[in-house]
């Protein structure tokens, strides 16, 4: 599904990522873990086209997508969420999710402004689709609230609903549990499993070990910009290098 | 959705009956300008309020529309109804072309670049004397005609201009509540999140910049054909600032706000006739006060103020 | 003949360029300390000239006393501006800052119009107006004053930024405002300082140019914008690159006006501005910086 090969990122002389390679199989939940500064978010930013790596390749479903801008990747059915949720605060919750359907709709500027019949029916379809994803994420009761004013935990769910509305085949989540209480984290774990059940591949960067060990099929461990280990949760928990480098000195 | 339509119909009716109260008076002429300025404020608001991209050069696009219309109908004796779309398409094309490099810039840099663009256009109006008449202006621009009616009086112009202004309003309201409008607002709130969801932010910004220029150009053509005389001073930096003031005072991202801002700023000088030169101080003061105390503009600030007052009164009685 | 002309245009271009440089440095100082492009910068240039006039005519001060007096009053206006318009801003987004500094600039200009009227005023040259011949060209003593004072100010600036505690603190703010705050630098004070310094520098520019070009309530707009062009060419540096940017702009403008068309003189500066912003937004001499694009 997703293949990272030899990705290297150098920021002004500092090597943030050093020839990281791994692959993500279709339908898996893959966790990327590692202590702070391991390069996890940098890696995500490279995969999703926000940064351009110094070297290395990213392959999406066998296609070389190195250097593609984010909007092109979205059309190839890859979306992501952000560590500090990036909501459209000036819009309602429902409208946020409606933006998620951007790639799945096509009315142009003039058709929209002149309310052409096809754009009206498309608008109806967008609204219905967006509502469905709000229900899927369990926040449909907030549909008409301004997104800027909802609690953080709900914002997290909204961001996921919005990403799902783009009908991705792969979704990358940057620390989805950050800032959630234990109740919300449990709900999140359920939601991620349900996303996988829709046949959507999930990749997540996460600090919450319990969550990672619970839901991930495979785990990649980064440390100081290089890949330290890769395997099933059990293998990772038993790997002496990981215990030494990571579980030992972090929580 | 339905409420939006009802509001628009009510507003249109109000506009259509308004002349009954002012007919023949000097105010009719001012109300024609309110219509033109409403179009311009909406054009700028689409760019600034919805897409979050500032322009300090919109008077330039307004002027280009006016001059293209003016020159095509006088020197080249084109029919005004032909000249108007020709001008609009030309201006839209130019704006699209310059939009790609200019909209790569952000914030202050975009402000300065658009400002520079506006000033260059203004200088061109002044210097291409054979074409535009230079500082002394271009006169004898024909009025518009439709089915035997010549739009040469304030009342006729009122209906002409407001017909167009209402069309621009409805167009913009529809746009704002559509797929494209949402994408625009998304770019405004978080460009990166919008891109990740597949919105081509760069192209969208250029599109809206061009659309905004087209509307401004149409307003310019209408201005030229109703005034029949134009000169560069109407299209300078100060007018770009006045447009900005209208949009900010009315409320960023609100179409009716743009009307409010345009109406206030067009009518204000009429009420301040004694203070003719000092209106510029009032603009400056209004800008500062609004950004500081009512960043949402009149259209949001007044209801908020009203609620506060009601609450105060309510608790006072309890 | 042709060469003499070019020399003449270059010489007069250099002195206008020096003025642009001073204004440009003022822009850069505030930008570096706060991230704000102060659209009101030009108004301090206007204030410098007109306040000097008032000190001369109303207070009957001699020139040597009128100038510092005008600079101090301009700086005081700068303080007021920062305190009343910039600091209380609740949502300091770039667009709000653009709007508020524009609003402030209109307000200052309007008040100046109330105080001094709409006429243009002349200030006597600092030391006569006997032309000095250089090669085939001539310059006025005031041109030399402009170049000399600009040079002195640039040196003072350099000393301040590199050899005093508060100058170094200001530089720290320009590199990283948050880090500067964390190591105990009073960032708000530095912001205020930056407004004081740049309004004073703007005033100086306005004072030394006034004997050449006359002054009026609305001279600040164009001069301010040209100063900004200089700063953009110099990559918003508060040092030599902006000075070179200003001189380059002044000379190109003067040559363009003289050799091509005087009507397009102002357009030249803005075409340069657009080209630089499109092609090298980091300035002619700067390294790539992602903040502007």
**Residue B131 reports pLDDT greater than 50:** yes
Q: CB contact, 8 Å: A116 with chain B?
A: no
DSSP-derived 3-state class of residue C288: coil
Is the same domain home to A25 and A39?
yes
* Residue of chain A with shortest Cα separation from B200: A71
- Supply the pLDDT for residue C288: 47
- Supply the pLDDT for residue B1: 63
In 10 A of CB C277, how many CB atoms?
Answer: 23
Nearest Cβ partner for B175 among A73, A113, A162: A113
Single residue among A167, A185, A218 that ends a domain in this structure: A167
Domain that holds residue C40: 36-127+136-217
**Residue B271 reports pLDDT greater than 80:** no
Nearest Cβ partner for B107 among C88, C94, C274: C94
Is the same domain home to A181 and A238?
yes
Cβ-defined contact of A99 to B197 (cutoff 8 Å): yes
CATH value at residue A63: 3.40.50.300
Single residue among A167, A197, A213 that ends a domain in this structure: A167
Smallest CA–CA distance, residue B269 to chain A, in Å, is 34
Q: Which residues of A touch B195 (CB under 8 A)?
A: 69-71, 74
**Residue B283 reports pLDDT greater than 80:** no
Is the same domain home to C83 and C164?
yes
Q: CB contact, 8 Å: A107 with chain B?
A: yes
The answer to whether chain A touches chain B by having 3 or more C-beta pairs less than 8 angstroms apart is yes
The answer to whether chain B touches chain C by having 3 or more C-beta pairs less than 8 angstroms apart is yes
Smallest CA–CA distance, residue B4 to chain A, in Å, is 14
Is the same domain home to A211 and A152?
no
Is the same domain home to A156 and A99?
yes
**Residue A14 reports pLDDT greater than 90:** no
Single residue among A115, A136, A167 that ends a domain in this structure: A167
Cβ-defined contact of B195 to A166 (cutoff 8 Å): no
CATH topology of domain B2-282: ABC transporter involved in vitamin B12 uptake, BtuC (1.10.3470)
Residue A33 forms beta bridges with which residues? A221
Is the same domain home to C151 and C104?
yes
Q: CB contact, 8 Å: A120 with chain B?
A: no
Single residue among C184, C217, C250 that ends a domain in this structure: C217
Single residue among C169, C187, C217 that ends a domain in this structure: C217
Is the same domain home to C166 and C208?
yes
Is the same domain home to C242 and C102?
no
Q: Which residues of A touch B187 (CB under 8 A)?
A: none
When comparing pLDDT for A106 and C224, which is higher?
C224
Q: How many domains does the structure of chain C reveal?
A: 2
CB C208 within 8 A of CB C257: no
Is the same domain home to C162 and C263?
no
Cβ-defined contact of B197 to A103 (cutoff 8 Å): yes
Q: How many domains does the structure of chain A reveal?
A: 2
Alpha helix stretches (DSSP H) within chain C: 2-34, 41-57, 63-81, 94-116, 141-163, 165-175, 177-182, 187-213, 219-233, 240-259, 265-279
Q: How far apart are CA C102 and CA B56, in angstroms?
A: 10
Q: CB contact, 8 Å: B115 with chain C?
A: yes
The answer to whether chain C touches chain A by having 3 or more C-beta pairs less than 8 angstroms apart is no
Is the same domain home to A183 and A64?
yes
Cβ-defined contact of B198 to A102 (cutoff 8 Å): yes
Nearest Cβ partner for B295 among C96, C277, C278: C96
Q: Which residues of B touch C232 (CB under 8 A)?
A: 112
Q: How many CB pairs under 8 A join A and B?
A: 99
Residue range B79-84: average pLDDT? 93
Is the same domain home to C194 and C64?
yes
**Residue A104 reports pLDDT greater than 90:** no
Location of structure tokens 């002429």: B29
Single residue among C183, C217, C251 that ends a domain in this structure: C217
Q: Is A145 exposed, middle or buried (0-12, 13-18, 19+ CB in 10 A)?
A: middle
Nearest Cβ partner for B198 among A75, A98, A114: A75
Q: Is residue C243 part of a domain?
A: yes
- Supply the pLDDT for residue C188: 84
Q: Is residue A83 part of a domain?
A: no
What b/e sequence results for A160-190 when a residue is b if at least 16 CB atoms lie within 10 Å of its CB, and e otherwise? bbbbbbbbbbbbbbbbbbbebeeebbebbbe
Secondary structure E strands in chain B: 145-146, 149-150
Cβ-defined contact of B195 to A70 (cutoff 8 Å): yes
Location of structure tokens 């250097």: A67
> Which chains does chain C touch, 3 or more C-beta pairs < 8 A?
B
Is the same domain home to A118 and A236?
no
Region for residue A27 given its phi and psi (left: phi exceeds 0; alpha: psi -120 to 50; beta: otherwise)? left
Over the stretch B132-176, which tens digit does the pLDDT of each residue have?
Answer: 888 888 988 888 878 778 887 777 889 999 999 999 999 999 999
Is the same domain home to C70 and C206?
yes
Cβ-defined contact of C89 to B277 (cutoff 8 Å): no
Cβ-defined contact of B116 to C225 (cutoff 8 Å): yes
DSSP-derived 3-state class of residue C112: helix
Over the stretch A197-206, which tens digit does the pLDDT of each residue have?
Answer: 999 999 999 8
Region for residue B145 given its phi and psi (left: phi exceeds 0; alpha: psi -120 to 50; beta: otherwise)? beta
Q: CB contact, 8 Å: A143 with chain B?
A: no
Region for residue C135 given its phi and psi (left: phi exceeds 0; alpha: psi -120 to 50; beta: otherwise)? left
CB C26 within 8 A of CB C227: yes
Is the same domain home to C150 and C82?
yes
**Residue B208 reports pLDDT greater than 80:** yes
Span of A81-85, B20-24, B110-114, C225-229 with lowest mean pLDDT: B20-24
Cβ-defined contact of B113 to C263 (cutoff 8 Å): no
Axis crossing angle, helix B237-250 with helix B255-271, rounded to the nearest 10: 120
Is the same domain home to C258 and C158?
no
Structural element, H or E, at residue A95 = helix A93-100
Q: What value does the mean pLDDT of chain B take?
A: 88
Cα-trace Rg, chain C? 19
Q: Is residue C106 part of a domain?
A: yes
Smallest CA–CA distance, residue B254 to chain C, in Å, is 16
- Supply the pLDDT for residue A165: 93
> Which chains does chain A touch, 3 or more C-beta pairs < 8 A?
B
Q: Is residue A25 part of a domain?
A: yes
Q: CB contact, 8 Å: A77 with chain B?
A: no
Domain that holds residue A33: 1-77+171-251
Cβ-defined contact of C106 to B284 (cutoff 8 Å): yes
Q: Which residues of C touch B119 (CB under 8 A)?
A: 225, 266-267, 270
Is the same domain home to A69 and A181?
yes
- Supply the pLDDT for residue B172: 95
- Supply the pLDDT for residue B24: 65
Identify which of A17, A7, A24 has the alpha carbon closest to the alpha carbon of residue A224: A17
Is the same domain home to A59 and A182?
yes
Q: Where are the domains of chain B?
A: 2-282
Over the stretch A88-101, which tens digit does the pLDDT of each residue have?
Answer: 988 999 999 999 99
* Residue of chain C with shortest Cα separation from B114: C274
Is the same domain home to C210 and C247?
no
Is the same domain home to A150 and A186?
no
Is the same domain home to C252 and C185?
no
Is the same domain home to C167 and C260?
no
Identify which of B301, B280, B241 has the alpha carbon closest to the alpha carbon of residue B44: B241
Smallest CA–CA distance, residue B84 to chain A, in Å, is 19
Q: Tens place of pLDDT for every residue, chain C, 293 residues? A: 578 888 888 988 999 999 999 999 999 999 888 888 898 999 999 999 999 999 998 888 898 899 999 999 999 999 999 998 888 887 777 778 888 898 899 899 989 988 998 889 988 888 878 888 887 788 888 889 999 999 999 899 889 888 888 888 888 887 887 888 888 888 888 888 899 999 999 999 999 999 988 899 889 988 998 999 899 888 887 778 889 999 999 999 999 888 888 888 888 889 988 998 888 877 777 654 434 33
Q: Is residue A82 part of a domain?
A: no
Identify which of C28, C20, C21 has the alpha carbon closest to the alpha carbon of residue C173: C28
Q: CB contact, 8 Å: B113 with chain C?
A: yes
Residues 6+ apart with CB under 8 A from B299: B250, B251, B254, B256, B257, B260
- Tokens representing residue A96 in the block: 């946020």
**This prediction's pTM:** 0.89
Distance from CA of residue C14 to its chain's centroid?
Answer: 15
């Amino acid at each position: 599904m997703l293949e990272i090969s030899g990705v290297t990122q150098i920021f002004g002389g500092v090597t943030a990522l050093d020839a990281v390679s791994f692959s993500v199989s279709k339908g898996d939940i893959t966790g990327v873990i590692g202590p702070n500064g391991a390069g996890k978010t940098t890696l995500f930013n490279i995969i999703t086209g926000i940064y351009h790596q110094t070297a290395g390749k990213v392959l999406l479903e066998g296609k070389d997508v190195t250097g593609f801008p984010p909007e092109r990747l979205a059309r190839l059915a890859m979306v992501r969420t952000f560590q500090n949720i990036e909501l459209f605060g000036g819009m309602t919750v429902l409208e946020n999710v409606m933006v998620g359907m951007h790639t799945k709709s096509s009315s142009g500027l003039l058709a929209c402004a002149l309310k052409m019949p096809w754009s009206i029916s498309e608008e109806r379809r967008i609204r219905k689709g967006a509502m469905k994803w709000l229900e899927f994420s369990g926040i449909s009761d907030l549909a008409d609230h301004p997104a800027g004013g909802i609690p953080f935990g709900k914002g997290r769910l909204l961001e996921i609903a919005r990403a799902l509305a783009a009908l991705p085949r792969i979704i990358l989540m940057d620390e989805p549990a950050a800032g959630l209480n234990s109740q919300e984290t449990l709900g999140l774990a359920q939601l991620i499993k349900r996303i996988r059940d829709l046949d959507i591949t999930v990749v997540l960067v996460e600090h919450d070990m319990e969550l990672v060990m619970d839901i991930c099929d495979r785990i990649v461990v980064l440390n100081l910009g290089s890949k330290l280990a890769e395997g099933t949760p059990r293998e990772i928990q038993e790997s002496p290098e990981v215990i030494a480098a990571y579980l030992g000195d972090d929580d | 959705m339905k409420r939006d339509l009802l509001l628009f119909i009510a507003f249109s009716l109000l506009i259509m009956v308004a002349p009954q109260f002012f007919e023949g008076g000097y105010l009719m002429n001012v109300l024609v300008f309110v219509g033109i300025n409403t179009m311009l404020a909406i054009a700028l608001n689409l760019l600034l309020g919805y897409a979050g991209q500032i322009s300090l050069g919109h008077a330039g696009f307004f002027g280009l529309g006016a001059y293209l219309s003016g020159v095509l109908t006088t020197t080249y004796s084109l029919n005004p109804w032909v000249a108007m779309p020709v001008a609009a398409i030309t201006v839209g094309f130019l704006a699209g072309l310059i939009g790609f490099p200019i909209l790569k810039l952000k914030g202050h840099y975009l402000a300065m670049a658009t400002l520079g663009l506006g000033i260059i256009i203004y200088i061109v109006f002044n210097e291409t004397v054979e074409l535009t008449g230079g500082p002394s202006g271009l006169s004898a621009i024909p009025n518009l005609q439709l089915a035997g009616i010549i739009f040469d009086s304030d009342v006729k112009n009122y209906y002409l201009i407001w017909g167009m202004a209402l069309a621009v309003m409805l167009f913009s309201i529809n746009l704002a509540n559509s797929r494209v409008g949402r994408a625009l607002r998304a770019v405004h709130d978080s460009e990166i999140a919008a891109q990740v969801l597949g919105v081509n932010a760069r192209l969208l910004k250029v599109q809206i910049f061009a659309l905004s220029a087209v509307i401004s150009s149409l307003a310019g053509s209408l201005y030229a054909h109703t005034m029949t005389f134009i000169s560069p001073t109407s299209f300078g930096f100060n007018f770009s600032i006045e447009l900005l003031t209208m949009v900010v005072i009315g409320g960023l991202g609100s179409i009716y706000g743009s009307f409010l801002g345009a109406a206030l700023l067009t009518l204000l000088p009429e009420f301040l006739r004694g203070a003719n030169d000092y209106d510029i101080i009032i603009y400056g003061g209004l800008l500062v006060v609004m950004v500081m105390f009512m960043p949402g503009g009149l259209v949001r600030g007044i209801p908020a103020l009203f609620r506060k007052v009601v609450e105060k009164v309510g608790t006072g009685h309890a | 003949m042709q060469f003499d002309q070019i020399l003449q245009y270059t010489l007069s271009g250099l002195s206008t360029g020096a003025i642009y440089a001073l204004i440009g440095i003022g822009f850069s100082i505030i930008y570096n300390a706060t991230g704000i492009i102060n659209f009101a910068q030009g108004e301090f240039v206007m204030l410098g000239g007109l306040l000097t006039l008032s000190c001369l005519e109303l207070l009957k001060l001699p020139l040597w006393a009128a100038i510092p007096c005008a600079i101090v009053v301009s700086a005081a206006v700068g303080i007021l501006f920062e305190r009343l318009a910039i600091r209380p801003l609740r949502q300091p987004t770039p667009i709000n800052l653009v709007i508020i500094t524009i609003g402030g600039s209109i307000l200052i200009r309007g008040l100046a119009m109330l105080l001094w009227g709409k006429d243009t005023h002349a200030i006597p040259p600092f030391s006569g107006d006997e032309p000095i011949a250089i090669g085939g060209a001539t310059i006025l003593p005031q041109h030399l004053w402009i170049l000399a004072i600009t040079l002195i100010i640039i040196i003072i600036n350099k000393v301040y930024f590199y050899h005093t505690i508060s100058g170094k603190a200001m530089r720290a703010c320009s590199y990283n405002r948050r880090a500067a705050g964390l190591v105990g630098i009073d960032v708000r004070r530095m912001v205020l300082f930056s407004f004081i310094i740049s309004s004073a520098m703007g005033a100086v520019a306005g004072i030394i140019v006034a004997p050449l070009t006359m002054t009026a309530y609305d001279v600040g707009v164009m001069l301010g914008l040209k100063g900004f062009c200089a700063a953009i060419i110099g990559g918003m540096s508060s040092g030599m690159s902006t000075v070179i940017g200003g001189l380059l702009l002044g000379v190109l403008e003067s040559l363009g006006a003289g050799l091509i068309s005087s009507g397009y003189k102002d357009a030249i500066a803005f075409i340069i501005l657009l080209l630089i912003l499109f092609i090298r937004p980091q300035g002619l001499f700067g390294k790539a910086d992602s903040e502007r694009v």
